[in-house]
Amino acid sequence: MATTTAAIAGLQTLELVKLLRKCKKEDLRNIFLNLAVPIMQASEPGDVLKVKLTDKIETTLWDRWEVDAKGLTLKETIQRVEEKYAGLEVRDVLRGNAPIFFHAIMSAPGKEKEKETLMSTALAELLGADPTDKDRETYVDLTITCVNKEKPADILEGVPTLRVLLG
């Protein structure tokens, strides 16, 4: 066990030194180690897959969008996202698997009042968060679906998680 720990610590240190010296990506290595066999394989890390949402917005699997929503309503939060990421239109907002806002349902005839009430409610209230807790910063990660304003028929894939700061 100590041998494995020492080997891993040494390999991590080598890679950390490379990062600190700002070496090229080709100089970095992913290393697979099995001391029971004994085998060690090193490979170059691959490029992360990029998803193009609009002409100006590209995302990766590792991205997370952040929006300061302190004291904002759901409508104002959605507007802030659409301003920050121009060219996108937010359609649905979910927290985990619980829906906060569904565009298709709220755009149905007869839902105008319910939609207006929901959109004018404070986001912190909708999420059940306590933004008055001054001991720590309150945030919630949301899943949003978006469409390209130029092609609103298709929901975009690859939209990152949205972290909203509430307090």
Q: Taking residues 48-77, what's their average pLDDT?
A: 92
The answer to whether residues 75 and 86 touch, using CB atoms and an 8 Å cutoff, is no
Average pLDDT score, the chain: 88
Instruction: Grade residue 129 by pLDDT with cuts at 50, 70 and 90.
Output: confident
3-state secondary structure of 106: helix
Task: Kindly state the DSSP code that residue 160 receives in the 8-state scheme.
Answer: P
Q: Are residues 63 and 114 in the same domain?
A: yes
The answer to whether residues 16 and 8 touch, using CB atoms and an 8 Å cutoff, is no
Q: Are residues 58 and 105 in the same domain?
A: yes
CATH of the domain at 159: 3.10.290.60
Instruction: Grade residue 136 by pLDDT with cuts at 50, 70 and 90.
Output: low
Query: For residue 124, is pLDDT > 90?
Result: no
Range of the domain at 68: 50-165
Query: For residue 84, is pLDDT > 90?
Result: yes
Burial of 165 (0-12, 13-18, 19+ CB in 10 A): middle
Q: Are residues 16 and 98 in the same domain?
A: no
